[in-house]
Amino acid sequence: MEKFEKLTGIAAPMPLVNIDTDMIIPKQFLKTIKRSGLGVNLFDEMRYDDNGNEIPDFVLNKPQYRDAEILVAGDNFGCGSSREHAPWALKDFGIRSIISTSFADIFYNNCFKNGILPIILPKEAVDVLMKDAEKGSNARMTVDLENQTVTSSDGEVFSFELDSFKKHCLMNGLDDIGLTMEKAAAIDSFEAQASQARPWV
């Protein structure tokens, strides 16, 4: 998993509340078990019309936000069913951080397992960052995980809280498999001892 340390990029404003996982990646795209290739279908029903043409007014279809790496979103982002394809689609599109007042628990935890940093800030702070994101591609935000801050394009700094274990995992690029592999030597030692103690197994 890619390490997350510091990100400076374009932020796209999505002020909708209760953006659920079916809006993020509709159910018809859940057949794959690959983490790549889902970005094209991110927010599919909002991005495309019935003929598959882009809807120009949707934020990620606008030229200034096509390369967005940060989303500033409304309350309760990622609610609905617990599909891990939602963070897969966001990451495959290029989104590496999402800022909101709140997230659904399962989605929030799935983000960390897929290299995405979800940031919870008070409504007043999110409102400021939402307005900043509305400036377009010239307004770049900085997300600093080590110092746990978000800095607007105007230099306004907001601090966020984060569980130390989740922070460690993101900064070191450790998903569940990576965490297990950190213990590879201890696992090998245990297996060797178990094999000697119970050779019949």
What confidence score (pLDDT) does residue 189 get?
Answer: 66
Q: Which two tokens stand for residue 130?
A: 């939402």
Chain CA centroid to CA 171, Å = 14
The confidence score (pLDDT) of residue 78 equals 97
pLDDT tens per residue across all 201 residues of the chain: 889 999 999 999 999 999 999 999 998 888 777 777 899 999 999 999 999 999 999 999 999 999 999 999 999 999 998 888 999 999 999 999 999 999 999 999 999 999 999 999 999 999 999 999 999 988 899 999 999 999 999 999 999 999 999 999 999 998 765 555 555 566 666 666 767 777 776
List, in sequence order, the alpha helices (H) in the chain: 21-24, 44-47, 85-93, 105-113, 123-133, 164-171, 176-182, 184-197
* pLDDT value at residue 30: 83
Gap between the Cα atoms of 117 and 96, Å rounded: 6
**DSSP-assigned beta bridge partners for residue 159:** 149
CA distances to 41, 140, 163 from 92, rounded to whole Å, are: 10, 20, 25
8 A C-beta contact, residue 38 and residue 65: no
- Ramachandran region of residue 125, left (φ > 0), alpha (ψ -120 to 50) or beta? alpha
CATH homologous superfamily of domain 6-197?
Aconitase, domain 4 (3.20.19.10)
Task: Determine the pLDDT at residue 130.
Answer: 98
Q: For helices 85-93 and 105-113, what crossing angle results, to 10°?
A: 50
The pLDDT of residue 186 is 65
Residues 6+ apart with CB under 8 A from 62: 56
